[in-house]
Structure 1
Amino acid sequence: MNYLNKPLDTGKLLLKNRLIMPPMATAKSGIDGRISKDILDYYDEKSRGGYISLIIIEHSFVSQQGKASNNQVSIAQESMVEDLKKLAEIIHKNGCKTIMQINHAGSAANVEVTGMEIVGPSAVPNPFGTGMPPKELQKNEIKTIVNEFKEAALRVKNAGFDGVEIHSAHGYLLNQFLSPITNKRQDEYGGDITGRIKIHRDIVKNVREAVGESFPIFMRLGASDYMDGGLTIEDSKLAAQQLEKTGVDVLDISGGLCRYTIPGVNEEGYFTPLSKAIKEVVSIPVIVTGGIIHAKTADEILSRGEADLIGVGRAIYKDSDWARNAMK
């Protein structure tokens, strides 16, 4: 394991090796999104031994309207910070770094969960939503959402985490802006890729203002939809370059509207063509996830320079000793 064991200094975060546990929804929080004993126990077990360099906490909602599912973690109120501190402390005590992923579900939300109107960039049904077209967001509402991400990121910092990850993959709101399938806007938030990532850049600028220069900002980027008329890797390469310029420190590459799999593709590391293409055009570190279940595969991806960091999700979810065995 020559490559997996190598440390990585992002400039703002020193990681002892290249293994990351990516965000995976556990549905273990309280109904109000509070951190439960179940969640504390789960992350305690996964981080024990300190074999994983970085644990990215499952997506947390930035507002009630952006809540994706019942028992999802909340970062929507100040009152969540004290409980979140306990989560950061447990993971740190076990010898791992940890960041939180913040998210707005947009048209992937459900009225039965949020009790609120479903919104999106355009009145286009989400391929994975309820089939109902969302209400198109007005510009003032977009500004409100930008501010919700900013406030959520500051809460993440105040809770003692080592960074924040902005979620723009898997068919959620920022991914909906990114994809030409779900973004049909005629204003500055639509059109070509520059318009479709305006909200991303606005969020990054605002988050940076709130958390300061030294706090790491990651972005999970759904770099291709693998759908007709959807987001292509060519557009994502341009987006990645813009996001790096705007202040993103690490890009975490996954799927877009196809979510976390590619239809009909099962081999390990199926998103590596995306991470490799992105890595060729940016100078910041790139994470790849996607069906990686063997340490040898992770090492080979790193050795070929297709990514800088490897996210192993389902394998660690199923086997808490995976990281220890991989590192030994």
Structure 2
Amino acid sequence: MSALFSPIKLRGLELANRIMVSPMCQYSADNGAANDWHFTHINMLALSGAAMFCIEATHVEPIGRITPGCLGLWDDATESALKPILASVRKHSKAAVAMQLAHAGRKGSSHRPWEGGQQIPLAQGGWQTVAPSAISHKEGEAPPAALDAAGLTRIRDAFVDAARRADRLGIDALELHGAHGYLLHQFLSPLSNHRTDQYGGSIENRMRYPLEVFEAVRAAFPADKPVGVRVSATDWVDGGWDLEQTIAFAQELKRRGADWIDVSSGGVSPLQKIALGPGYQVPFAQAVKQAAGLPTITVGLITEARQAEEIVASGKADMVALARRMLYDPRWGWHAGAELGGQVSAPPQYWRSQPSTQKELFGKTTFGAR
């Protein structure tokens, strides 16, 4: 039996396989509200064969967006915009739907990637960003405002409000974005956090605010629904956040009821030097899994079915999350199932698409035409 196509249970959520569609920013929302692009994108990848689809980084307040086109969930309008999309997914797909809650911090107020991705000045429609410390992400950018006590409370409460809205929408699981140089990662990394209060300095202090946000979200989301966290295992910069600190953070998250750690890396500094290669982040996930005893999801240049199978079968990670590969091959899960002898869920309209040599791919026999 394929390990990749074996079931896994995360709290009360039962998944038929170990594949997740990774959250991927689309930079296409209207004032934070999902639209027809998201309808197409989400419904397409909900039929990928992955047991879980994770909605892109969904920002908890307007100034928490990376770009003006980023998705949000901070008011009734942004909540309502997602309702018909999720209704369509539920009608046609059995995939669980997760959502990644996020705040960009100092990496906000940026142009979309295809518009250059640089910071938008205030005079050109940008906004004042916030962060643990008034340190720019890179040289030449306007510095963020250091968060005071009121700001910390506002953002924590915004995460809680978004979690409650997500539950009302019927979202099955949440993932907090604590990676890629965004706000929660900014608190963790000594490169971006130079605070001298209880939220800066020692690792215990730098972890404090992300842990407070997690605890608040965990308390606000139903007890039978899982909540995980995406982390950057290393900043890829000397003197930055590293694997040892990531393990300590994961251990604290486990004590507070986290259901998985989604292990990525980098993003907090343009000085990073990443050692790229197939599955280059898998060892990070393996180390976190072994030391913290939490289910781990691994990401990063995982492209082939047998590569994913080996990762799960060998115990290096409990699940794999695919992003760009899913965009290139929106039926990756089907193709992996055909190669590995696994089964996937598909709508009956597509049952006749399976190759003649893969009659059991959908667990159905091809029906005849009249």
Shorter-normalised TM-score: what interval?
over 0.9
Q: Deviations over 1:242-270 (max 9, x none)?
A: 011112111111113368xx745332111
Once the two structures are overlaid, the 10-residue window that deviates more, 117-126 or 262-271, is 262-271
SS in 2 for 1:74: coil
Equivalent in 189, 199, 205 of residue 189 of structure 1: 199
Equivalent in 300, 307, 310 of residue 300 of structure 1: 310
2:36 is matched with which residue?
A: 37
Unaligned runs of 5+ in 1: none
Matched AA of 1:91:
V
Aligned: 1:235 with 2:245: yes
Matched AA of 1:25:
C
Matched AA of 1:23:
P
Unaligned runs of 5+ in 2: 110-119, 339-370
Equivalent in 309, 319, 327 of residue 319 of structure 2: 309
SS in 2 for 1:149: helix
Equivalent in 49, 65, 83 of residue 63 of structure 2: 65
2:99 is matched with which residue?
A: 100
SS in 2 for 1:219: strand
Once the two structures are overlaid, the 10-residue window that deviates more, 94-103 or 118-127, is 118-127
Retained in 1: the 8 A contact 2:49–2:332? no
Q: CA RMSD in A?
A: 2.0
Residues 299, 130 of structure 1: alpha-carbon distance in 2 compared, 3 angstrom cutoff = farther
TM-score between both structures, scaled by the size of structure 2: 0.83
Residues 313, 99 of structure 1: alpha-carbon distance in 2 compared, 3 angstrom cutoff = same
SS in 2 for 1:143: helix
Q: Deviations over 1:187-220 (max 9, x none)?
A: 1111222211111111122112222322211111
Q: Distance in 2 between matches of 1:252 and 1:264?
A: 18
TM-score between both structures, scaled by the size of structure 1: 0.93
1:5 is matched with which residue?
A: 5
* Counterpart mapping for 1:167-178 below 5 A: 167-178=177-188
Q: Distance in 2 between matches of 1:304 and 1:208?
A: 31
Matched AA of 1:205:
E
1:86 is matched with which residue?
A: 84
Q: Deviations over 1:119-158 (max 9, x none)?
A: 110121114x863321111122111111111111111111
Retained in 1: the 8 A contact 2:33–2:71? yes
* Counterpart mapping for 1:132-281 below 5 A: 132-257=142-267, 263=273, 265-281=275-291
Retained in 2: the 8 A contact 1:175–1:256? no
Equivalent in 330, 335, 338 of residue 325 of structure 1: 335
Matched AA of 1:28:
S
Q: Distance in 1 between matches of 2:87 and 2:308?
A: 28
**Deviation (angstroms), 1:82:** 2.4
Retained in 1: the 8 A contact 2:137–2:268? no
Q: Deviations over 1:92-144 (max 9, x none)?
A: 331110111111111001255874321110121114x8633211111221111
Once the two structures are overlaid, the 10-residue window that deviates more, 151-160 or 71-80, is 71-80
Residues 232, 304 of structure 1: alpha-carbon distance in 2 compared, 3 angstrom cutoff = same
Q: Distance in 2 between matches of 1:279 and 1:193?
A: 20
Retained in 1: the 8 A contact 2:11–2:225? no
Matched AA of 2:33:
R
Q: Distance in 1 between matches of 2:282 and 2:224?
A: 29
Q: Distance in 2 between matches of 1:159 and 1:284?
A: 27
Task: Give % identity.
Answer: 30
